[in-house]
Amino acid sequence: MKNNNINRKNSYNLIFKFKSLLSKYYLDSSKFISSLFLCFSIIILLYVVYRAEFYHSGAKFDFYIKYYLLSGLLIILSIASYYLKKKN
């Protein structure tokens, strides 16, 4: 029983340290989510470029144009989300 309480206390302490570390580097959780969204958008764009240009040697550019546009739009939206202000 005592070990269980110690483990629970250690896990709460670890969670608190993780939250404080996140708040130190990402003061606002919306900035953190925007960063994740931007990384995800860039990964999608890189994958589309790989598939269109390297895997298919540029032969299916017309097929992948909609994915280029979609990933570009996602990148623009993720950059714009940095500048949105939070209502109180």
Handedness of CA 82, 33, 68, 56 (dihedral sign): positive
State if pTM tops 0.85: no
pLDDT, tens digit, for every residue of 12-56?
A: 666 666 666 666 555 566 677 888 889 999 999 999 999 998 898
Structure tokens at 58: 């540029």
pLDDT, tens digit, for every residue of 48-79?
A: 999 998 898 888 888 999 999 999 999 999 88
Q: What is the arithmetic mean of pLDDT over 3-9?
A: 53
- For 65, the 3-state DSSP assignment is helix
